[in-house]
Amino acid sequence: MLSTPVLPQEILALIVRLLRRNGQALLNLCLTSSCFLGEARNLLYSDIRIRKSRFTVSRNNNPILLEVAKSDKLFLTLTDHNTSLAALVQSFAYLTDFPCNNDEYMSLVNRAFRLINNVKHLTLCSDVVIPGLFDGCTFQLESLCCTATDSLKHTAGQNEICRFLSTQPNLKSLLLDWQQGPLPLTLCPKLETIRGGNKSIECLLPGRSTVRHLEWIRHETYRDLPIPIHKLSAELSNMTVLALGGINDRIPLKSLTPYLKSLGVLRLMGFAKGRGIDELEHDVSRLSKLRTFVWSTEKFRFSQSGPDQRSLGQDMEKQRTLTESWFTKMDTMGKLESLCCTATGTPTRAAAQDEICHFLSSQPNLKSILLDWPESPRPFTLKLDTTREVYHPLSTAALSNVTVLALKGMHDRIPLRSLIPYLNSLRVLRLMGFGDWGMVDLENNLPKLSKLHTFVWSSGSFRLSYSNRDEYSLGQGREQQKRLTDRWFTKMDTLDKVYFQACDIRFGVGCYTCWRRGDNEPVYVDHKETLVANGLSFWFG
C-alpha cells in the first residue's frame, strides 16, 4: 500500500495562503486532507479585527453592532469550543466601543483575553476601558494602541491602565491618550516608539532614553496646548524617525530642529501655522543627518491660500528649487535611491513633466521611482530629440539603475515604449491608467524588458480595455488575461508573476488576480501582497 506523500510545511503554507480569500475552497481543502488544517488555522486566527458597522441587529430589544454580534461566536470558539486556537492569535484589534452595558459579553471578552497568551499587538479603539478587562491576562505585548479617552479622565481608568502596563515590560510601541502627568518611568522600560498629541508626548516622553521613533500627531478634534520643547531636548536628540503633523496646524519644525541631532527620517503632515514655504526652505536643511524626507498633504501645494491658479502653477518650480537646495546643502541626502512623486495639483502638465524629469536626471542612484503624472488630457510635448520619440531627461542614464518603476496617470501617461531602451535593470513594473499606445503596443513591448520579474496592471474598473469596456467584461476578462500572460511567459524567461486589478466586489477593494508562471488559473491576492510587498504602493495624507 502506497503511503500518503508528505508535503513540506512551506508548500502547505503557500497553498493555504493562495486560498485565503475563498472560504469555501479553504474549507474543502481541509476536508480533503487534514494536513492543511494547521496552516489554515494559523491563517484565520493570527490576525483578528472586530470592526464598526452601520448595520445593527437586535438582542433583547437592545441594538448592538453587527460585528459585535458576530464576535460572540468568535469568542465562544476561542473560550469554549476549541481553546487551542486562542494560542494562534498574534494581533488583535477591537475597532469600536465596547458594549459596556453588556456584562455577559464583557466577561466573554475577558475570558478570551486570558487565553490569547501569544498576542503581540493589541489595539483597543474604545473610549472606555472596563475595570477588570485585563484581569488574569498573561500575554506580553510589543505594541499597544489604546484610545480610552473617557476612562483615562478618571482615577479608576488611570489605575487600570497603569496596572496593566506594569505587566508589560517588553512593550516597544505605545499610543495612549494620557494627559494626567508623567507616566512612571518604571512602566514600559523598553519603549522605542511613542505616538500621540502634544499632551501625550509631554507626559510619556520625558526620561525615556530608549525611544527612537516619535509620531507627534495633533489631536483630530481639539487643539492641544503648547508644550515647553526645551524640556524634551535630551529625548529629542535621540530621535532617528519623526512623523510630525495632524489635521489641525502642527508645531513648527523650527522649534524642534536645534534638538533633532540624530534624525534620519522626517515626515511632515500638513502645514505649520505661519511657516509655509520658509519652513521647508530653511528648517529642513538644518537637519544635518537627514536621509529621507516625506511631505504628506492632501494637495501637494506650497501655498496655504485658496487654489490660486498662479500659485499652483509655480508648485513644481518650487519643488525643484527646494530639492536642489537640500541636496546641495545636505551631504547625507546626496544619494537618493527611492522617490515617490505626485503632481496632481499642478494644472500645467508640460511644466510638471519638465521639472520632474529635470530632477530625476540629477539622481543617477535612483533604484525605485513611483511617479504620478499630472491629470490632464493634453498630449506630451517635451522631446529630448525631435528626430525620435524620446521624452526629455527621463531617457538619460538616470533610469539605467532603476529596478522598481510605477507610472500613473488618470487620462494618459508617458508611453512605455519611450522608456524601454533605458530600463536595463528593471525587475518590477506597475502601470496605472492608460498610455497612448493601446493594448497591442503593451502586448508587444513588455517582452522587451529583458530582466522583468513582476508586472502589475492597475487599471481599475476599466479592466483590460479603455476604448471598449464591454469587450472585456468580468466574463471575458480572465480569457484575455490568460492570452496575454501566456504570450508574455513564453517570450520572457525572467517573468514570474503578473497581476491584474480585479473588478469583482466579492473580493473587496484593492484585490488583484495573480497569474504565476506554469499556472492555468489565477489566484486572488490583496493589495499588500501585490503592491506593498513589491515596493509599489503610493501613499498619501
pLDDT in tens, 23-77: 788 888 888 888 888 888 888 888 888 876 544 443 444 444 446 667 888 889 8
pLDDT, tens digit (0-9, with 9 covering 90-100), for 370-428: 776 544 433 333 333 333 333 444 545 567 888 888 877 544 556 677 778 888 899 99
Distance CA 261, CA 234 (A): 10
DSSP state letters, 264-280: -EEEEES-BTTTTHHII
Distance CA 280, CA 270 (A): 12
Query: Cell numbers at residue 508, please?
Result: 473587496
Name, of 24-33, 209-218, 328-337, 437-446, the range with top average pLDDT. 209-218
Q: Are 138 and 159 in contact (CB under 8 A)?
A: no
Of 252 and 186, the one with more pLDDT: 186
Name, of 78-82, 126-130, 478-482, the range with top average pLDDT. 78-82
Query: In the prediction, which pLDDT does 291 show?
Result: 80
Q: Name the amino acid, one letter, at 477.
A: G
Query: In the prediction, which pLDDT does 60 show?
Result: 40
User: Which conformational region is residue 188 in: left (phi greater than 0), alpha (psi within -120 to 50 degrees), or beta?
Assistant: left
Strand-strand pairing, 213-217 and 91-95: unpaired
Of 157 and 256, the one with more pLDDT: 256
Mean pLDDT calculated for residue range 462-489: 62
> To 5 degrees, how large is the angle CA 331–CA 335–CA 339?
125
Query: In the prediction, which pLDDT does 366 show?
Result: 74
Q: Which of 277, 280, 269 is nearest to 245 (CA)?
A: 269
Distance CA 298, CA 408 (A): 18
What CATH number should be reported for the domain whose range is 192-305+314-334?
Answer: 3.80.10
Residue 464 pLDDT class (50, 70, 90 cuts):
very low
Least confident range from 123-132, 162-171, 473-482: namely 473-482
Considering the chain, what percentage of its residues have pLDDT values greater than 70? 64
Q: Are 341 and 356 in contact (CB under 8 A)?
A: yes
The strand pairing partners of 293, in sequence order, are 266
**Three-state DSSP state, 415:** coil
Query: In the prediction, which pLDDT does 344 show?
Result: 45
Return the domain boundaries, the chain. Answer: 1-45, 192-305+314-334, 335-541
Q: Which of 469, 534, 458 is nearest to 502 (CA)?
A: 458
Least confident range from 102-116, 325-339, 438-452: namely 325-339
> To 5 degrees, how large is the angle CA 338–CA 342–CA 346?
145
Query: In the prediction, which pLDDT does 511 show?
Result: 79
Examine the pLDDT at 274 and tell me if it is beyond 60: no
Distance CA 538, CA 59 (A): 43
pLDDT, tens digit (0-9, with 9 covering 90-100), for 289-314: 888 777 765 443 333 333 344 443 45
Query: Cell numbers at residue 499, please?
Result: 497581476
Mean pLDDT calculated for residue range 105-132: 88
User: Rounded to an integer, what is the distance from CA 181 to the centroid of its chain?
Assistant: 33
Distance CA 245, CA 248 (A): 8
Mean pLDDT calculated for residue range 460-465: 41
Report field, pTM of the whole predicted structure over 0.85: no
Average pLDDT of the chain, as a whole number: 74
Query: Cell numbers at residue 445, please?
Result: 513591448
pLDDT, tens digit (0-9, with 9 covering 90-100), for 435-451: 544 565 678 888 999 99
Examine the pLDDT at 258 and tell me if it is beyond 70: yes
Query: In the prediction, which pLDDT does 337 show?
Result: 64
Query: Cell numbers at residue 346, please?
Result: 499642478
Distance CA 468, CA 164 (A): 60
Q: Are 362 and 323 in contact (CB under 8 A)?
A: no
Examine the pLDDT at 493 and tell me if it is beyond 80: yes
